[in-house]
Structure 1
Amino acid sequence: MNNVLMPTLFVSHGSPMMIVEQSETTEFFTQMGQTIPQPEAIIIFSAHFDIAGPVMITSGQTLGTIHDFYGFPQSLYEVEYPAHGAPQLAQKAGELLQKSGFSIALDQTQGLDHGAWVPLQYMFPHRDIPVISVSINSQASAQIHYELGQALSPLRREGVLFIGSGGISHNLRAVFSQASDPESIHKMQLFTDWIAEKIEHRDVEAINHYLQTAPHALFNHPTPDHFLPLPCILGTSDAAENGKVLHRSVDMGLLALDAYGFGLTA
């Protein structure tokens, strides 16, 4: 592997419809894939790979495409992202996590959920970069996920690109019932503005305790799964790296699709 210090990214993957509908966000994914250095491998934390118990790491030679959604057009179920796996990298990641006190399990059959393959389809359409997926645990705190990222962070210096794929706001019930709360958009904007400011000032403490410190945290994240890839990515970044807001947009009136990066040179 090379010695380039790869950037580390948080992206919001939005609805599965993103794979067939072009938008500002899909253009951002494409542009980002063309801008960052070519990684040797990718480690992705997806909101939809949520496992209670040991940290699960994909370790197969290939990673199948999981269509983990229902009620969408047939064309979405025909999309495939046949990714190369990285068994040796999975083993190394597991060893790093174990050294930091995490229990781990390797899974040779787990594939990529849509939180992983939707952004990867746009960022790396040639499907020629090995990928492993590392699970989150929505029963664990943001602080624990930050420490998980810290444990894996040495791999950035071996050409590994880290991507956290979630959603910076993810209240689907509110999305489909906005009329019941005229303040819903304002609550989303206050939260996402707060996150952007904390990212740019690298306020690790505030982000890791977002439930206590962020405005309308539970409104924007009734469950933590789409937030937790963010502290993972924060953990992979260096202490001297302030974050950058790379993209901001909103889908369906209330789903914020913001993206952040650390270690970007431009």
Structure 2
Amino acid sequence: MTQQKPLFISHGSPMMAVEKSQTSRFLQQLGQAIPTPSAIVVFSAHFDVKHDVIITAGQQPETIHDFYHFPDELYQIRYPAPGEPKLALRIATLFADANINAKLDNQQGWDHGVWIPLRLMYPQANIPIVQISINTRIGAAQNYRYGQLLAQLKNDNILVIGSGGISHNLAEVFARTKTPNGIDMMNQFRHWVEHKLINNDIESLLNYQQLAPHAQFNHPTQEHFLPLMSVLGASGNTQAHKIHQDVEYELLALDAYSFS
């Protein structure tokens, strides 16, 4: 059985679905470069729930266009990848065995943190997907724990992906008056994250809000960083490798990591 290397992907603007960029080309090449998984499990920044863990369990989930004021062509895109109810049940059992309440949802569709990168990686939409919610209200350590419960999946040719962003401050991106040293603040943060990942300093990463330079500036809210914590847990504390770097709109770091 092929062993998959868990991935963290920065998915960037929804415009990546229709515009060519360094990161869209990277994702297209990535799908061709790694072994084809039998299924994909995704922690996305855009599936943030307040209470119990929610796991998608539908046979054919819909494509969700959970963004506003973009060109009409984006809203016409569908990504008809199937779900995988049996895998969803297996994952729910792993959570239940750890005394974490997880609910199967037959109606939840693929948010754009799922379908935009996966459409680039696997345009045929023929690999089953299960999506697991994150929770910004419980912090990095518990989301890391969610991932830890899935560490065994990589041995069964199941690819675990965290889809978020190394930095994500949209208010600053669209602000009329920019923070004078904002680009430097972003770079300090992304370099700190890279150093901690490469050196497997999990304790610092779990406390990034207190320890990382300019953490609040780069992540005013946590949802785009927590998928990194979940996939870090799913990696089984294996070595992180930076496999891509890019910056969008000067402030959105789109770095990607593989864990092996």
TM-score normalized by the length of structure 1? 0.96
The structural deviation recorded for 1:23 is 0.4
Aligned match of 1:136: 134
CA distance in structure 2 between the partners assigned to 1:38 and 1:242 by the alignment: 21
Taking the TM superposition and a 5 Å limit, the aligned residue runs for 1:245-256 are: 245-256=242-253
Residue 103 of structure 1 corresponds to: 101
CA deviation after TM superposition for structure 1 residue 178, in Å: 6.7
Residues 1-266 of structure 1 aligned to structure 2 (within 5 Å): 3-177=1-175, 179-239=177-237, 241-263=238-260
* CA deviation string 1:102-134 (max 9, x = no partner): 110100010000011000000011111100100
1:49 is paired with a residue whose SS is strand
Distance 1:63 1:132 in 2: 10
**Unaligned runs of at least 5 residues, structure 1:** none
Query: What is the CA–CA distance in structure 1 between the aligned matches of 2:131 and 2:44, rounded to whole Å?
Result: 7
Q: Partners of 2:160 and 2:35 in 1: how far apart?
A: 12
The 8 Å contact of residues 168 and 256 in structure 1, kept in 2 or not, is answered as: yes
Contact 1:178–1:184 (8 Å) recurs in 2: no
AA aligned opposite 1:219 = F
In 1, Cα distance between equivalents of 2:98 and 2:166: 28
Instruction: Provide the rounded CA distance (Å) in 2 between the counterparts of 1:16 and 1:128.
Output: 21
Q: Deviations over 1:221-261 (max 9, x none)?
A: 0000000000100001123x210111111111111111111
Cα RMSD after superposing both structures: 0.9
Read off the aligned partner of 1:260 and give its amino acid letter. Answer: Y
Using the alignment, how far apart are the partners of 1:135 and 1:144 within structure 2?
12
Secondary structure at 2:49's aligned position in 1?
A: coil
The one-letter amino acid paired with 1:109 is: Q
- What SS does structure 2 have at the residue aligned with 1:10? strand
C-alpha change, 1:193 and 1:103, in structure 2 (3 Å) is same
Equivalents in 2 of 1:58, 1:156: separation in Å? 19
Equivalent-residue separation in structure 2 for 1:190 and 1:59 (angstroms): 40
The secondary structure found in structure 2 opposite 1:161 is strand
Shift of 1:180: 3.1
Task: Measure how far apart 1:155 and its partner are.
Answer: 1.2
For residue 207 of structure 1, report the CA deviation from its aligned partner: 0.7
The amino acid that maps onto 1:257 is L
Report the TM-score, using the length of structure 2 for normalisation: 0.98
SS in 1 for 2:150: helix
Q: Which runs of 5+ in 2 are unaligned?
A: none
* Cα distance change on mapping 1:214 and 1:148 into 2, 3 Å: same
Which amino acid counterpart does residue 256 of structure 2 have in structure 1?
A
Q: How many Å separate the matches in 2 of 1:54 and 1:76?
A: 31
User: Identity rate of aligned residues, in percent?
Assistant: 48
Greater shift after overlay, 178-187 or 219-228? Answer: 178-187
Residue 145 of structure 1 aligns to which amino acid in structure 2? N
